[in-house]
Structure 1
Amino acid sequence: MTDLLRGAGYLRQGLTFLRGRPRLLLLGMVPGLIVFLVLGAAFVALLLNVADLVAWATPFSDDWADSVRAVVRGLLAIALLVGVLVLFSALFVALTLTVGDPFYERIWRETEASLGGPVPDHAIGFWQAARDGLRLVLVGLGFSALVLLCGLVPIIGPTVGIVLGVVFSGRLLARELLGRPLGARGLDDAAQLAATSSRRTTVLGFGIATQLCFLVPLGGILVMPAAVAGAAILARNELDLA
């Protein structure tokens, strides 16, 4: 629990860093706002039509008792919405980091400079960011399917699905956010996994805290630039990176 809380504290440190640099914070909010409006519109459309969608997907329950049918379709609707939230979270991060790469690079560089020492300059590039984003979306899609299946379990299913969704998406989120400070030092995927293996719980705490903020309306817009800064601080403090 201590490691989880310490990891969550890096998000607070990132927000504290940007609070003293309001222009940088506002700059980092622009990509998230654009992506949020697009994904938010899609989620509202799903929310308005989820009952019809679930009814279409479960024609076999048309002849069931009204109460049983309502419970089954209600659980399925909850599971579907949670699964989509997990997927949209992955999409939000992937699209925001890709679209806003120049914005976040500036935040990351200023954070690194504030920590002292040389700022690593190994180029990551747009296509690398796009590839990492695509990987995040594909893994997020798999986790969404898992959350959806968990949601079908009576009574405890939706709760289990929500918990798994937050944990899995938090882990993905932390991995992606740490990709810049690690990748800028020339570490490939295997080396990044090795670098974070001794601090998995701390990294997970950082990812879960960030993910929970994303569940708050408009939270992702404010938190994303803070998470970029927090990831740089975490990488420097926890992973023994120069």
Structure 2
Amino acid sequence: MVDGVRYLGRGIAWTARRPAQWAFGLVPALLALLLFGGLLTWLGFQVGDLVRWMTPFADDWASGVREALRLTAGIAVFGAALFVSLLLFTTVTLIIGEPFYEALAARVEDSVGGAPPEPDEPFWRGLGRSVRDALVLGVAALAFGVLFFALGFIPVVGQTVVPVVALVVSGYFLTGELTGIAMERREIRRKERFALLRTRRPAVLGFGTATAALFLIPLGAVLFMPGAVAGATLMARDLCAADTPPAPKVA
């Protein structure tokens, strides 16, 4: 897992040394932040009413038990929404910023040896595939979100173990999305991409979990997105060594 964290660190360091590239990569993330930040803020104000609607059977319970149940349910609802948002934030950001992040990934690869040529494919076909992949990820995110929501009601475990597992799972999917930029250039599609990621599961989980943790920091998903794209590009480059130009030799 340490190797995965190192990839993230290398990506963040790459953007830190190139402030213009870091700022270039902020634009799509800021747009996605406005969307998801607004939705989560709205949910935060509505979650009390939503939980009361979901638990009418508790209306006649003793007030202490009723409030404890609804507090747990509220945490579970918001936690599940945060999990889904974390996954979909990256997907939506990559769709919005596809030209931005393709250019950023190409510059990362050029700085360490060069990238394969772009596939001869119309822009709209690639965008359509990205949207289809986003829908697949969205369904998976909702399924896991419902599962983690249900597990959140388990005393103690639901408030300790489940959030950690959710962070690791979201990190795995985040890595799949972020490495997709460099792998699509090599014409490695979603199914083959995840099969390739499974060959380096510890590094993938290390990278993804560290990225997901940074994204939970306020504004972290915006500030660290360019570095995460750079780090995922470096990881994808190593995973696809057979399709990658060799790095230049240092004299």
Verify same fold: TM over 0.5.
yes
Matches of 1:82 and 1:206 in 2, distance apart?
A: 22
Give SS of 2:199's match: helix
Aligned pairs, how many?
A: 239
Match of 2:4 in 1: 7
Match of 1:148 in 2: 149
Between 166-175 and 151-160, report the one with greater CA deviation.
151-160
Q: What do residues 29-83 of structure 1 show as CA deviations (whole Å, max 9, x unaligned)? A: 0111111112111111111121121111100001111111111111111111110
Matches of 1:190 and 1:222 in 2, distance apart?
A: 29
Give SS of 2:200's match: helix
Match of 1:195 in 2: 196
Could you list the structure 1 runs, at least 4 aligned residues long, displaced by more than 6 angstroms after superposition: none
Q: How does 1:115-194 map to 2 (within 5 A)?
A: 115-122=112-119, 123=121, 125-194=126-195
Letter in 2 for 1:150: L
Query: Is contact 2:116–2:186 with CA below 8 Å preserved after alignment?
Result: no
Q: 2:68 aligns with which of 48, 57, 71?
A: 71
Query: How far does residue 193 in structure 1 lie from its aligned partner after superposition?
Result: 2.9
- Provide closer, same or farther for how the CA distance between residues 12 and 23 of structure 1 changes in structure 2, counting only shifts above 3 A: same
Matches of 1:83 and 1:128 in 2, distance apart?
A: 27
Q: How does 1:100-119 map to 2 (within 5 A)?
A: 100-119=97-116
Query: How far does residue 208 in structure 1 lie from its aligned partner after superposition?
Result: 0.7
Q: Which runs of 5+ in 2 are unaligned?
A: 245-251
Match of 1:24 in 2: 21
Matches of 1:31 and 1:69 in 2, distance apart?
A: 42
Query: Is contact 2:171–2:205 with CA below 8 Å preserved after alignment?
Result: yes
Matches of 2:49 and 2:115 in 1, distance apart?
A: 56
Query: How far does residue 239 in structure 1 lie from its aligned partner after superposition?
Result: 4.5
Query: Is contact 1:113–1:119 with CA below 8 Å preserved after alignment?
Result: no
- Provide closer, same or farther for how the CA distance between residues 118 and 75 of structure 1 changes in structure 2, counting only shifts above 3 A: closer
Match of 1:35 in 2: 32
Matches of 1:118 and 1:35 in 2, distance apart?
A: 28
Give SS of 1:194's match: helix
Between 191-200 and 14-23, report the one with greater CA deviation.
191-200
Match of 2:45 in 1: 48
Matches of 1:60 and 1:10 in 2, distance apart?
A: 49
Query: How far does residue 191 in structure 1 lie from its aligned partner after superposition?
Result: 2.5
Query: How far does residue 189 in structure 1 lie from its aligned partner after superposition?
Result: 3.0
